[in-house]
Every structure is written in structure tokens, then in C-alpha cells.
DNA sequence: TAGTGGTCTAGACCACATC
DNA sequence: ATGTGGTCTAGACCACTAA
């Protein structure tokens, strides 16, 4: 981003471009130097991400127009455009022709359950019912602390819940989720708060705790249902279940949720696209 | 862009652009018309895909430079660039600064097993051994024919194989794959041909049958190991296995492979990235 | 040194949404 | 009519590769 000298307002990024290019050219011959170079549009992108992280623009709101951002950062509209393009393909921003560019949110219908890849074998899109089983604050177990980058013994919130599908009048459990959330950002999270909430969990996190999930990694395996989980899912002990361990990240690639789901794939499957 | 008069060779894409724009503007007021409009770079992209499909440039080879393509299609370099950009993000092309743009291939180390999301729980990247169990031509079963868009009773090739991991000196089966391939493009595919082949299967398909997989859809579920499959995978009958049904597509979004894999996830997991 | 892709700019015009 | 993103162009210069 802007060169270190330009401490004034909005930091003439154009000057930086040349500065960076030079730095890059001169740094490499010195040995196995740091990469230490990024194109202008990457610097702009970083600034925009900072803005998002700082809450300058909230999910659902629009960011300034390309022209305005170009003026603010003292670059051409095309450069801003390229920065926004990347952020749009990463689902951090959503462009809407004629209206503006908006901060992505888990509120809209289209992106509501974009991290849930489970779907019914028949195309029925009947949304799943939720049933909260547990929600308590505790010290994060070692493994959880490690994955969430918490200090040993730091506070965490543990949540357990069921997702149920309407199956011809009766509700059949399909997913058993265990969540761990870092205690600090999720200070006021209680069972009541969750029970009262209508809508996706990630929307609650956005709206009430300013935590926006933008990316996740999942590890899948087939496991045999343990006794307790089998009972909750109403399947025989030892039934094959799909285990999905998810680590979700927010803006700075900071992990903010660990989730272990057990999916009953008798009438559902996990859909994935490869390219 | 080029004037609309340039109707000469190579399908002056520019002429289309204006034509399309006009069509679009006039079509909409008429009612719920077809979309029937695509920007110039999409038209260029379509032409490039046609070239790939026709085998004008083969996997691993370079396509003409942006400047040359711009001249050929009578558009600006930037328009060609945008077309190539999209194809690169879809993994159809690979850009290499200073060298050129190349047709993607399953030959290179980096993209060798890009459709195989299974990996060992420890980071060991020891490649899997193969063992071919079966390879025969047959009439495609109804379900297979449907998914591969074959006519009922058309010829297909069925392949069954094991993938095994080196586990401290001994080989342990990890994956049991069942493949169905359309008989026509895979005319000469025999067990001997596959046995003799060193390298990824998809590389063989590219090199010997001109079938290049560029995209796939997978459906995952947890299942209990049936007797026959359990024995092949050397696990107890009823063990939980990850079932992965994959449908792979080549250039025109034509399905060209149906694969059903059973993964033993005792020491491996299926990795996925969500965004 | 020449050729390739990569970045950046400036300006024109189109498509869409809103007032 | 105005403002937004979307497309297209033309040209300059940088970074990388290979001869």
C-alpha cells in the first residue's frame, strides 16, 4: 500500500506504484529477499479489506462508488475495479449493476446457507428446522484452542444443535452440529439469544457480534454413529454418518468458528463442485 | 471497437458486438424476450473454447499470444485478455508470464490429481499405488446412460480399480473406484493400455483419447461397506465408508465420465474449501 | 534483445436502476 | 436526467523468459 512517506490523507497510491516497483527490482538481487511487492490493485484491495474489517462499511451496505474510491486512493477507476473484482469473486463484495457495490452478507436468500453443502436427494428445497440443545461458556479444550488460535484455557462458547427436515409431516433429524466460538467476540451469546433468532446463524453472528464468515475449510470423513449422537439423530448405533469438520475464517483470515457436524446422508448428500 | 462493416474472415466478432447490443436494446421492450446478448469478450471466449474442443491447441501446448489473437478476432488486446482471464480462473488455460498462455493439462505435478480431494490425515504426500481390477466394454445401464447422456443400450467401458497407500511397508487399500466411460470416444481403452500407463488416468484420457476433463460435480455420502467392497478394501463389512459419486465434464459441458468411489477415511479425509 | 503476460491509465460508450 | 457498474479501446510501461 501507499509508500511510507505519504502519511497524509489518502496516500497517493500512484506514487507508490513506482516506489514499489523500484523496491522490488532492487530487493531481489540482494539474495532470497522477501517478496515485498504487490501491484497497486492488491494494495487497494488490502485497504478495502481493512475497511471491512474495521466496520467502515457493514454487511448489506454499499461501499463508495468506483469513481469515488479512485479519487480517494488517487488511482484510476480501472485499478479500483480490478481490486473490487477480486473481492467480488471471493464473495466479500457483491456488485449490482446500476445500484452499487455491497458488502456481502449471509442475510440474502441467495447466499443464506452458502456454507451448507448438504441437500436432499430429491430437489426439495424445504428449509431445515433448528433445535438448540446446548449453549454454554467454557474453557476451550486444547485442540479447539489450537485451531481457533486461542491461548490455552481462554474462554469459548460451545453450542450443540440439531437440524431437522420435514419428512411427510414428521421432523427427522439430519444434522447434529457442535460449534466452538471464541469467547471474546461472542461475549453476549446465550441460548435465549439463539432461540429468539430467526434466520441463519451466520446472520446472527454478523448482526449481533460483528463477526462475518467469508471462507471455510472442511474435512470430511465417514464415521460410525456413537451412542449419544446416534440417539440424537435417531439412527442405530454404528450407522454410517458423514463427519464434517469446518474451520471458518473472517476478514484477516482469522479463524472464528470450529464446527463439527454429523450428517445423516440416508436421504441427503453433500454436493461439491470441482474445477 | 471495430466498425460494423468488417464482415470479412474470422467472423469479425466486433460486428456481433454492436449487433448484439442493438438486439438487446430492442428486444427487451417487446416482452419477456430471450437474454440473447453476450459481451464481446464472452464471444471471444466461446471461440477459444471451440478451438480447444476442436483440438486446434492441445493440452500442454501454448495458444497464440494475446496480441495475435486480438488481431485475428479484430478486437483489442484487453478484450482478449478478459476472455483468457475467465478461462484461466476456470482452469482451462494457464498463464505464464514471459512465456505464454497454455492449454491446461493433467500432466503437471501441480495439477496432477486436482480432482482427488482425499488426503492423508498426516501431511504425508506419498502418492497412491494403483491396482486395476477390471476393464470391460458393456452396454451402459440405464442410470449410467442417463447421466452420461448416452442412448439406451449404447456401449460403455466399465473400470474398477483400487488405490492403495504405503503404510509402513505394507500397502493398504484406501479407494475403490468404479468408472463408466462412454464407448465412442474411449474406443481403444483396454486393461493392457491402462496397466501400461504410468501417470494420472486423466492424463491417459487426454493423451490417447483426446478427452480432457475440466470440471466435475460430486455427491458425497456415508455408507456401510457391502460385503464385496469391504473385502476389496480390507475393512469389516458394514464399516463406514465415504461414497463419492463424480460426474466429470469436458469442454462443451458434455459429461464424459461417471465415477463412484468408496473411500476408507480411517487415516484419510476429504478436503474442501468453501467460499 | 525481443516477445510474452501483467499493470495502470484515460476516455468513450452501454446497460441498469432510480428519481 | 443522473449515477452506478459493465464493456471496449489504445497506449504506455513493467516483469519475466529465453535466445
| Residue A127 to residue A113: CA distance in whole angstroms | 10
- Which pLDDT score is estimated for B10? 36
Lowest mean pLDDT among A178-192, B51-65, B125-139: B125-139
Between these two residues, A167 and A97, which has the higher pLDDT value?
A97
Q: What is the pLDDT of residue B169?
A: 84
Residue B179 bridge partners (DSSP):
B159, B259
Contact A274 B242 (CB under 8 A): no
To the nearest 10°, the Cα dihedral for B42, B44, B49, B51? 170
pLDDT score, position A213: 97
The per-residue pLDDT for range B221-236, each reduced to its tens digit, is: 999 999 999 999 999 9
pLDDT band at A26 (very low <50, low <70, confident <90, very high): very low
CA A39 – C1' C6 distance (Å)?
Answer: 9
Tell me the CB-side half-sphere exposure of residue A51, using CA atoms within 13 A.
Answer: 23
Tell me how far apart the alpha carbons of residues A241 and B137 are, in angstroms, rounded to a whole number: 35
Q: Give B168-221 pLDDT, tens digit per residue.
A: 889 999 999 999 999 999 999 999 999 999 999 999 999 999 999 999 999 999
Q: How many helices (H) and strands (E) does chain B have?
A: 8, 10
Average pLDDT over residues A137-148: 96
CA distance B50 to B92: 12
CA distance A134 to chain B (A): 26
Question: Which of B27-36, B118-127, B169-178, B255-264 has the weakest average pLDDT?
Answer: B27-36
- Which residues on chain B are in Cβ contact (under 8 Å) with A235? none
Query: Would the CA dihedral through B231, B232, B234, B237 be positive or negative?
Result: negative
Q: How many CB atoms lie within 10 A of CB A135?
A: 19
C18 C1' – B122 CA distance, angstroms?
56
**Distance between CA atoms of residues B209 and A143, nearest Å:** 48
Statement: residue A201 has pLDDT above 50: yes
Is B215 in a helix, a strand, or coil? strand
Place of cell 483396454: B190
Distance from CA of B230 to the nearest CA of A (A): 14
Specify which residue's alpha carbon is closest to the C1' of nucleotide C14.
B21
Strand C proximity: list residues 97-126 of A with CB under 7 Å: 97-99
Confidence (pLDDT) at A29:
34
Q: Which CA-bearing residue is nearest the C1' of D17? A: B98
CB contact under 8 A, A219 and B117: no
Cα B23 vs. chain centroid, distance in angstroms?
34
- Residue B32 has a pLDDT of 37
Chain B: closest CA distance from residue A6 (Å): 31
Chain A, 246 to 275: residues with Cβ < 8 Å from chain B are: 246, 263, 265, 268-275
pLDDT at residue B112, as a whole number: 86
From the CA of A206 to the C1' of C14: give the distance in Å: 37
Q: Yes or no: say if A83 and A184 are a contact pair by the CB < 8 Å rule.
A: no
pLDDT given at position B36: 55
For residues B210 and B206, give the distance between their C-alpha atoms in angstroms, rounded to a whole number: 5
Average pLDDT, integer, range A196-208: 94
User: A89 in contact with B at a CB cutoff of 8 Å?
Assistant: yes
DSSP chain A: ---TT--STT--HHHHHHHHHHHHHHHGGGSS-------HHHHHHHHHHHHHHTTSS-TTSEEPPHHHHHHHHTS-HHHHHHHHHHHHHTTSEEEETTTEEEE--S-SSTTTTTT--EEESSS--PPPEEEEEEEEEEEPPHHHHHHTTPPTT-EEEEEEEEEEEEETTEEEEEEEEEEEEETTTTTT--HHHHHH--S-HHHHHHHHH-----EEEEEEEEEEPPHHHHHHHT--TT-EEEEEEEEEEETTTEEEEEEEEEE--SSEEEEEEE-
C-alpha cell at B9: 474472415
pLDDT at A47: 97
How far apart (Å, rounded) are the C-alpha atoms in residues A226 and B244?
23
Q: Please tell me what DSSP assigns to residue B122.
A: S
Residue B80 to residue B73: CA distance in whole angstroms: 9
Give the cell for residue A247: 474451520
pLDDT tier for residue A110 given thresholds of 50, 70 and 90? confident
Kindly report which amino acid residue has its CA closest to the C1' atom of nucleotide C3. Answer: B98
Q: Is A1's CB less than 7 Å from nucleic acid strand C?
A: no
- CA B146 to chain CA centroid, Å, is 19
Q: What is the per-residue pLDDT across B5-17, written as a single tens digit (0 to 9) for each?
A: 333 333 334 333 3
Which of B106, B118, B240 should one mutate to test binding to chain A, selecting the residue with the greatest count of A CBs within 10 A? B240
Q: What is the pTM of this model?
A: 0.89
Of all helices (H) and strands (E), which one includes residue B88? helix B77-89
Flag the least confident range among A4-18, A92-106, B117-131: A4-18
pLDDT in tens, B42-97: 999 999 999 999 999 999 999 999 999 999 999 999 999 999 999 999 999 999 99
**Per-residue CB contacts under 7 A with strand C, chain A residues 32-51:** 39-42
- Which residues, in sequence order, are bridge partners of residue B167? B170
Beta carbon pairs, A and B, within 8 Å:
105
Using CA coordinates, name the residue in chain A closest to B218.
Answer: A272
C1’ C2 / CA B188, Å: 45
B257 or A252: which carries more pLDDT confidence? B257
Is the pLDDT reported for residue A70 higher than 50?
A: yes
Q: What is the chain B residue with the closest CA to A224?
A: B240
Question: What are phi and psi for residue B171, nearest 5 degrees?
Answer: -95, 125
Average the pLDDT over A149-176 and give the result.
94
Amino acid at each position: 500500500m501507499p509508500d511510507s512517506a505519504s502519511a497524509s490523507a489518502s496516500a497517493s497510491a500512484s506514487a507508490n506504484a513506482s516506489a514499489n516497483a523500484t523496491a522490488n527490482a532492487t530487493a531481489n538481487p540482494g539474495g532470497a529477499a522477501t517478496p515485498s511487492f504487490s501491484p497497486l490493485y492488491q494494495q487497494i484491495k488490502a485497504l478495502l479489506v481493512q475497511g471491512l474489517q474495521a466496520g467502515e462499511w457493514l454487511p448489506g451496505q454499499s461501499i463508495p462508488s468506483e469513481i469515488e474510491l479512485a479519487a480517494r486512493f488517487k488511482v484510476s477507476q480501472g485499478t479500483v475495479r480490478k481490486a473490487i473484482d477480486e473481492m467480488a469473486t471471493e464473495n466479500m463484495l457483491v456488485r449490482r449493476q446500476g445500484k452499487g457495490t455491497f458488502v456481502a452478507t449471509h442475510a440474502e436468500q441467495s447466499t443464506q446457507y452458502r456454507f451448507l453443502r448438504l441437500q436432499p436427494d430429491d430437489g426439495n428445497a424445504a428449509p431445515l428446522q433448528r433445535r438448540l440443545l446446548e449453549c454454554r461458556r467454557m474453557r476451550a479444550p486444547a485442540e479447539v484452542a489450537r485451531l481457533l488460535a486461542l491461548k490455552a484455557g481462554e474462554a469459548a462458547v460451545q453450542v450443540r444443535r440439531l437440524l431437522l427436515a420435514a419428512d411427510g409431516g414428521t421432523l427427522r433429524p439430519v444434522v447434529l452440529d457442535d460449534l466452538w466460538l471464541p469467547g471474546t467476540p461472542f461475549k453476549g451469546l446465550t441460548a435465549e439469544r439463539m432461540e429468539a433468532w430467526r434466520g441463519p446463524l451466520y446472520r446472527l453472528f454478523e448482526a449481533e457480534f460483528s463477526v462475518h464468515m467469508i471462507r471455510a475449510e472442511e474435512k470430511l470423513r465417514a464415521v460410525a454413529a456413537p451412542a449419544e449422537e446416534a440417539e440424537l439423530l435417531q439412527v442405530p448405533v454404528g450407522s454410517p454418518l458423514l463427519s464434517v469438520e469446518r474451520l471458518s475464517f473472517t476478514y484477516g483470515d482469522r479463524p472464528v468458528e470450529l464446527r463439527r457436524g454429523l450428517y445423516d446422508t440416508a436421504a441427503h448428500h453433500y454436493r461439491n463442485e470441482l474445477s
